[in-house]
Structure 1
Amino acid sequence: MSRRSSSFSNPLAFILLLSAVFLLFVAGIFLIGYAHIAATLPAPEELRDRANTFKTTTIYDREGNLLYEIFPNDAGRRTITPLASISHHLINATLAVEDPNFYHHPGVDPVGVARAVYYVLKQDERLPGGSGIPQQLVKLTFLSAEKTLTRKLKEAILAIEISRRYGKDEILEIYLNHIPYGNLAFGAEAAAQTYFDKPASHLTLAESSLIAGLTQAPGLYDPYRNWDRARDRQADVLRLMVEHGFITPDEATAAWLEWEGKGQDEILASDGSGFPHPHFVLMVRRQLEQTYGADVVSKGGLRVTTTLDLHLQQLAEDAVQEGIDALQKINANANNAALVAIAPESGEIVALVGSPDFNNDEIDGQINMALAPRQTGSVIKPLTYLATFEMPEDYWTPAKIIMDEKTQFPDGAGRPPYVPKNYDGKFHGPVSVRSALANSYNIPAVKALQHASIPALIQLAERLGITTLTRPDYGLSLTLGGGEVSLLEMTGAFAVFANGGERIEPHAILTVETDGGDLLEDNTGRSGSLVMSPAHAFLITSILSDQDARRPAFGASARLLELPDRPVAAKTGTTDDWRDGWTVGYTPQLVTGVWVGNTDNREMNHLSGVRSAAPIWRQFMQDAHKDLPVRRFSPPANVVKREVCSDTGFLAHPECEQRRTEFFKADQLPPDPTPTP
């Protein structure tokens, strides 16, 4: 008998051969099926892009303290963080709970899959969490969450493919940046900030074990609402960490006892229902959306550093709240106030308060009154007098004499003349421009606008950054507050005086970066442009800082416009119906504007700007300058000092009975009455 026929006559050999052929057939079918299913699935290379469908935009103060996070309404917070910047405690706790064999299986843990398939075939709703980290990542990024055998097979194949094409650390990093932890926190960094107000790199073992236990049921284990249940889950995590060799029993016990006797309020961060400095951060958000679009801002993971100085911001909020409290005690019928502070040499908005209480609906606290145009009162008068200084011919100077007397001004055909009155109801006769502006007399200011012209004042205001004087029907009352300007824009206009005529656009954003560190916007060291003569800027400053010149009208209240240790320039404003009180003033280092009134435009109880806004302004300015060196207003080289006759404003001559000294732009001296020989 031949060797061939004997081999077929051996039953065992035949069975073995047949088994081998069958196994090869099954393997072939499996490989064909695997390849077919794999070909219909998304490319594994898309994992990182699919995982990072959104990233949280973060807004910081100038020192890097987190102020606010922006994320999609249907998603949550996410800050992409490298694995090296995540606490090893959280990494180990996650592995113990989700996938202890993660670093040793090819993408699928066979024991876990077998258990899951068994429960699916039984149609048992108590499906255990048998999926490892790669499978969970596939489920979260590629596939639906349906519990069917087909989906489970697809999940396993994709998990294997992902594990072939990505390193284990990379898969774990993507997972830890994608997994939801509840309370709108997606990823380890967002969870660490949400629950413990710290970066993920600083999480302790106790904190990590609590966070790692949230992922399987974030709502069930929410520590804000179910603290005891969250603690029970934390105990399970610590037990699993011991069981899988990540920590010792003693370390687990120490982590558990770390919070013994403490309540959740002592352990957890605030639940995030509010956020600090809301008017400022929402203003920044609106600017970002205007520049980059709402979709990029809510999903793009921008890192935004602002100009906000937290110390000055707190001083501003305190001053506004205390000022409103004081006004309510005297029944002033004023329940709202706003404050803006700008560093004039950089244009940086270092503090901004839009109302005393953002959450107070009774005062419409969510309206940002720093941005709302309001009638200016007399606070616009410095711009009017500046317009007369800038006239190429027949210009005025601080020594110019104006008659403060009853005057009728034409107000258009068919209309009665305009007859302004002074705040004190009196006429003061011949007064200098210095005295008229310092004491805020109304009639001389109207004469100044008539001399310079309304278009000249509007054009000057536009040069200084004021955008809201757009009506075509302004009359001479514009210089007394007939137009509406926001506190931010008025404060920005005064910043030009403080900065010697150079305007640097007021801004709230220092830098904007992508999540990868690319710089999109950089306003540090922002340059400006000269929009008025430095000499004219100094002349206005000289008047507004002249304490003696303003005392006839302000009396004892003048102290509210002074600082005890340094010169300061300031101007108040009050609308004639008592709806708005203003004070805007500055040193070379800081310009601050304050508005007081009611959002609904109700009248205050006969409250002027010096009584309503000035106390808030002075408190803030005094506190803000405590650690700043004293700087004085220095005249530029083309400003000269000359002696003038007090009663005429002309250069002094031998017949002058009363004389005083005055500043002038070198090429704009007053007339010299001395006859030429």
Structure 2
Amino acid sequence: MNIIISILFIIITILSIIIFKVKGLLILIITLPLYIIYLNSNKIIDIIKKKKKGNNKDNLLERKEVEFVSSSSRRGKVNDDKNKKKKVKPQNKKQANKSRDKKEKSSSKKKGIVRKILTILLGFAIFCVFAATAFMIYIVVSTSNFDPNALVNQDQTVLYDKDGNEFATLGVQKRESVTYDQLPQVLVDAIVATEDSRYYQHNGVDMARFLKATALNLIGRDDAGGASTLTMQTVKNNLTKKDSLETNKIKKIIRKFQDVYLSVFFMEKKYSKEEILEFYVNDSCLGGSVYGVEEASKYYFGKDVSELSLPEASLIAGMYQAPNKYNPYKNPDKAEERRNTVLKLMVRHGYITEEEMKMAQAVSVESMLVGAKADTDYQGYVDTVIDEVEKLTGDNPVVVPMKIYTALDRSIQDGINDVLNGTSYTRWANDSVQAGIAVTNVNDGTIVAVGAGRNREGKRTFNFATQAYRQPGSTAKPLFDYGPGFEYNDFSTYTLFNDEPWTYTNGPSVGNWDNKYQGLITLKQAVSVSRNVPALKAFQQVDKKNIAKFVSSLGIDIAYSTKDENYKEYDNGGDNILNEAYSIGGMSYGVTPLEMAEAYASFANGGYHIESHAVIKIEYRNSDETIVTSDLKEYQKEKVMSDSTAYLMNNVLQYAVEYGFSGGARVYGSTVAAKTGTSNLDAATCKAKGIPIGSVGDLWTVAYTPEYSVALWYGYKENDSTHYLGSASYPKDDLMSAVFKSIPKTTKKWEIPSSVVAVTVEKETWPAQLASEYTPDSMKITEYFKKGTQPTEVSQRYAKLPAVTNLKSTKEGSNYKLTWNFKTPDILDSAYLSKYFSNSVYGNQSANYLQARLDYNNNTLGGFGFGIYKKTSTGNLELIDFIDSKSTEYTYKPTSNGSVDIIVRAEYKNFKDNASDETKITISANNVKELEISLSGNESISVTKGNYNEKGIIVKYNDKNVTLLSDITYTLNNTTYKSKSELEDEINRLEADKEVEITYSATYNKITKKITRKIKIIEG
């Protein structure tokens, strides 16, 4: 053990002197006494024992003196006691030796224990010193060489589009440096009071604050803070952090110790406090890509830094902590709150008075700002990239030089820019109305274009594509209602809902946008015309845990309860717990256009979620570190739904574009699916802000192709009495139409997967049933089902009717009575229909649907009954009569002698397609009175144009003229007339050289006969 300790001591001493040179002797001074104590631990223990033994002897003498004094006063008594005492025998020599050995062994054992304890403590102390030394050595070795040039010169960050072409730069070229003499004292005081109050007292590190922050970081405390001095921050911004991806707390702590090392041993040695402060104010990011205090002064206040007032200086000083959070253009309220905090700190440290603070606080932030312009036409996209890089790496690309390769598609982005700036779309209501647009590639999740808003001033201001959380309206329905229904409840595109008066589970009613109800409606139709009641019913049918799981998997945080890991509470008092209002877009917080484009992309790509991202690759220019986003876990494809769910939704939303509310996304010759959404302002908000009741807060269209997903939000950032939307959605539709002109057309289709089957079903059947052979085309519809859930039963509504049986004939005088048997099908039985329409899908309208079916059967189909036919010599059927189904007998009256085949069929009066097979009976008639019909005049005549005079016909019954008693009609060119005059007028209007045929029909005693005449029109 002694050898090991000695070797460690020698190693520590040699390395300390090599690395720290003269300063390394300090470590020797600390470790040498510990080493000496360890080697001489036995002697030290003996010395301690001897000292302890000496103390014991002194105590014994003191006790004897006390006893002597006491015994003198009691001598008489003591003498008496002596006589009474018994003599004690002395111990023998053997016993004395044994006792002495035992004491020596005990002493040796105690000595060994003490030595072990000292060895452990000393070893631990040396280990700690060695570990600390090793850590310091690592810090020194791993820290880049101090480069003074890095304090004034940095590489730029360059952004590249999808084709590898540069489209923006960030960093050094935007900076305007100033000297310390140009800094107003009020700014210096504000920065020191806020960022490093002991700046002029320490040598680069505020050790008390630093050690406290380090310890809290190690135990994972979020409130640990940085405790970095101005010197350390300057080192971090220019020398250390740009070489490190702080992906964990250990790396962050290592980097902070590197900051300390460079600050104490280099910065504070080489530069004065004034020079360090000069570096600090020139190299810090102060919002967006604003770099350095001089640019910040001009960007925010339109003046040089030397001209800053106390309110302005304190605002800038407050931004160093979190430049984007306290950006006055982006968050004026937070910026003002932070400025007031800085002013209070200045009072605490004696730089200003209370009165000066109050005067400065009275100046509003908005009144100080001068407005700003973007650096590039792609500023919205640049802002999105910067936010993403900071989230991904913890580094600001404005400060840390990088090469950032993005997915920007300039042709799409340019098109969106032209829409927002009024070049290609000119119907903006005013300069205040806003729009947020996000376009993503559905196959890899990349953001190809961003419409961050209209009339944006400056860099990293509010981004309506990524930061505008708004109520999604009906665009929520595919996500919260129908998507989960497809996935978990085996919904089909045909699934029926009754659009009727309905309520939420807790009581309030829900209505539709038009305040009407459409009754029984398929899922596909309900989505296409955005009905609320079916959406709520769909939501109520699916387990809420499944809905929360489904929506969250698409990138929108929804919790089922407060116990969920992703449960959130929002500043507006709401939370993200799922409730029924979400079914029609009534979310507590809302969603952004980018989130909606990302969510809908999962339908387009077959059921995969990919977190949207603009960055493809990041290369650090000051190191060899590279990040490829496709390699990162968070950007991997994740299967979140079945391919059947994705396809069914694509089918439904494509139908909505073609036959329903397209939201301006219809592009002829291109495959597009879309859903619109409208969010109304609640009555309380309207009343409070003086807005008409029923006004709209948000208008949406989310559309996608097999390649791109596009989400558009349209509205005002803040609604008030002069800024609100009416109920009309045409501005948004026209806007989306303009946006889609920039989206590449595609004829690519969503291929039907093997997990989905297309089936032709009969309308109004529930559960869905196959169309029968005789179902009218108007009652057939092709719908899509998850394989294994498709209908297999054929509907009987229009199925072929059963034939009559036991048809018989009985002669009654000259007539014949026909009788037969017939079993009425269930589908026509009123009791069966009553039960059928009691199904829950018909809701509270069962009786109405039953009556509607009966009315349809009677009026459209003509009622069910039996057709009585006579078969002609040509084999055709000639209708004799149609009787109601209540009767199964009929009296046939022959019109001529001889045999005749009589046919009886079960059928509808108007709809003959599904009539039963023929049931025939032959009747031989004799002594039958006959009806005869003849023409007055020739069978074929020629008349001059305009001079036709109808001669009529003669009708006889058993040789008796019954013409005047007969019902006579005249048919010409498929038009039937009931009078001669009408016929004559029509023929006299005909042109010459026309040949026509008149069909005469005479009916008497239920016997009908027909005859024809040909007419030729000639010139007069």
Q: Same fold (TM over 0.5)?
A: yes
- Which residue does the alignment assign to 1:234? none
For residues 139-218 of structure 1, the aligned pairs below 5 Å read none
**Residues 512 and 419 (structure 1), Cα distance of their counterparts in 2 relative to 1, 3 Å cut:** same
2:667 partner amino acid: L
Partner SS for 1:389: helix
**Residues 299 and 560 (structure 1), Cα distance of their counterparts in 2 relative to 1, 3 Å cut:** closer
Partner SS for 1:631: coil
Q: 1:389 aligns with which of 468, 480, 486?
A: 486
- Which residue does the alignment assign to 1:623? 742
TM-superposed deviation, 1:476: 1.7
Q: Does 1:51 align with 2:149?
A: yes
Q: 1:478 aligns with which of 543, 562, 582?
A: 582
Q: Is the 8 A contact 1:399 1:662 kept in 2?
A: yes
TM-superposed deviation, 1:584: 0.6
**Residues 517 and 524 (structure 1), Cα distance of their counterparts in 2 relative to 1, 3 Å cut:** farther
1:130-149 deviations in Å (ceiling 9; x for gaps) = xxxxxxxxxx9996699xxx
Quote the Cα distance in structure 2 between the aligned partners of 1:46 and 1:510: 28
Q: Is the 8 A contact 2:663 2:733 kept in 1?
A: no
For residues 354-393 of structure 1, the aligned pairs below 5 Å read 354-359=452-457, 366-383=462-479, 384-391=481-488
Quote the Cα distance in structure 1 between the aligned partners of 2:724 and 2:165: 40
1:389-409 deviations in Å (ceiling 9; x for gaps) = 122xx5321111110011123
TM-superposed deviation, 1:595: 0.4
Q: Is the 8 A contact 2:418 2:424 kept in 1?
A: no
1:390 partner amino acid: E
Quote the Cα distance in structure 2 between the aligned partners of 1:427 and 1:272: 50
When normalised by structure 1's length, the TM-score is 0.58
Deviates more, 1:62-71 or 1:380-389: 62-71
Quote the Cα distance in structure 1 between the aligned partners of 2:417 and 2:749: 27
- Which residue does the alignment assign to 2:697? 579
Q: Is the 8 A contact 1:593 1:617 kept in 2?
A: no
Quote the Cα distance in structure 1 between the aligned partners of 2:416 and 2:714: 14
Quote the Cα distance in structure 2 between the aligned partners of 1:143 and 1:519: 30
2:671 partner amino acid: P
1:429 partner amino acid: G
Q: 1:313 aligns with which of 413, 418, 426?
A: 413
**Residues 273 and 651 (structure 1), Cα distance of their counterparts in 2 relative to 1, 3 Å cut:** closer
TM-superposed deviation, 1:571: 0.6
Quote the Cα distance in structure 2 between the aligned partners of 1:504 and 1:475: 26
Q: Is the 8 A contact 1:324 1:334 kept in 2?
A: no
**Residues 302 and 400 (structure 1), Cα distance of their counterparts in 2 relative to 1, 3 Å cut:** same
- Which residue does the alignment assign to 1:65? 166
TM-superposed deviation, 1:55: 3.6
1:16-36 deviations in Å (ceiling 9; x for gaps) = xxxxxxxxxxxxxxxxxxxxx
TM-superposed deviation, 1:422: 1.0
Quote the Cα distance in structure 1 between the aligned partners of 2:520 and 2:147: 76
Structure showing greater relative contact order (alpha-carbon pairs closer than 8 Å, 6 or more residues apart): 1
Unaligned runs of 5+ in 1: 1-44, 77-139, 147-179, 185-270, 412-416
Q: 2:757 aligns with which of 634, 640, 659?
A: 640
Root mean square deviation, CA, Å: 4.2
Q: Does 1:278 align with 2:379?
A: yes
Q: Is the 8 A contact 1:377 1:573 kept in 2?
A: yes
Q: 1:429 aligns with which of 516, 519, 534?
A: 519
**Residues 642 and 519 (structure 1), Cα distance of their counterparts in 2 relative to 1, 3 Å cut:** farther
1:250-293 deviations in Å (ceiling 9; x for gaps) = xxxxxxxxxxxxxxxxxxxxx99723322322222222223333
Q: Does 1:566 align with 2:667?
A: no
Quote the Cα distance in structure 2 between the aligned partners of 1:428 and 1:72: 63
Q: Is the 8 A contact 2:656 2:674 kept in 1?
A: no
Quote the Cα distance in structure 2 between the aligned partners of 1:559 and 1:599: 21
Unaligned runs of 5+ in 2: 1-142, 178-266, 274-278, 284-371, 560-567, 569-574, 682-695, 797-1020
Partner SS for 1:545: helix
For residues 116-515 of structure 1, the aligned pairs below 5 Å read 274-294=375-395, 297-322=397-422, 326-329=426-429, 335-359=433-457, 366-383=462-479, 384-391=481-488, 394-411=489-506, 417-467=507-557, 470=568, 471=575, 474-483=578-587, 484-515=590-621
Quote the Cα distance in structure 2 between the aligned partners of 1:289 and 1:314: 25
1:651 partner amino acid: Q
Quote the Cα distance in structure 2 between the aligned partners of 1:632 and 1:643: 21
Quote the Cα distance in structure 1 between the aligned partners of 2:461 and 2:157: 25
Q: Does 1:600 align with 2:702?
A: no
Quote the Cα distance in structure 2 between the aligned partners of 1:559 and 1:338: 15
- Which residue does the alignment assign to 1:660? 781
2:394 partner amino acid: G
Quote the Cα distance in structure 1 between the aligned partners of 2:578 and 2:630: 38
**Residues 670 and 606 (structure 1), Cα distance of their counterparts in 2 relative to 1, 3 Å cut:** farther
1:364-405 deviations in Å (ceiling 9; x for gaps) = 9734343221100000111210111122xx532111111001
TM-superposed deviation, 1:324: 10
Deviates more, 1:320-329 or 1:569-578: 320-329
Quote the Cα distance in structure 1 between the aligned partners of 2:495 and 2:272: 82
Quote the Cα distance in structure 1 between the aligned partners of 2:160 and 2:586: 38
Q: Is the 8 A contact 2:760 2:781 kept in 1?
A: yes
Q: Is the 8 A contact 1:337 1:596 kept in 2?
A: yes
Quote the Cα distance in structure 2 between the aligned partners of 1:288 and 1:605: 36
Partner SS for 2:449: strand
1:370 partner amino acid: T
Q: Does 1:672 align with 2:783?
A: no
Quote the Cα distance in structure 1 between the aligned partners of 2:505 and 2:165: 57
Partner SS for 2:503: coil
Partner SS for 1:580: strand
Q: 2:646 aligns with which of 530, 534, 537?
A: 537
- Which residue does the alignment assign to 2:708? 590
TM-superposed deviation, 1:66: 3.3
TM-superposed deviation, 1:432: 0.4
Q: Is the 8 A contact 2:657 2:666 kept in 1?
A: no
TM-superposed deviation, 1:450: 0.8
- Structure 1 or 2: larger strand share? 2
Partner SS for 1:485: coil
TM-superposed deviation, 1:594: 0.5
TM-superposed deviation, 1:638: 1.9
Query: Radius of gyration: which is bigger?
Result: 2
Q: Is the 8 A contact 2:554 2:599 kept in 1?
A: yes
When normalised by structure 2's length, the TM-score is 0.39
Partner SS for 1:592: strand
Partner SS for 2:444: coil
1:321 partner amino acid: N
Q: Is the 8 A contact 1:58 1:68 kept in 2?
A: yes
TM-superposed deviation, 1:323: 9.2
1:554-575 deviations in Å (ceiling 9; x for gaps) = 4xxx482310221210111000
Deviates more, 1:296-305 or 1:419-428: 296-305
Quote the Cα distance in structure 2 between the aligned partners of 1:317 and 1:671: 53
1:307-339 deviations in Å (ceiling 9; x for gaps) = 11122111111123339964445x7x9610011
- Which residue does the alignment assign to 1:5? none
Matched pairs, number: 439
Percentage of matched positions with identical amino acids = 24
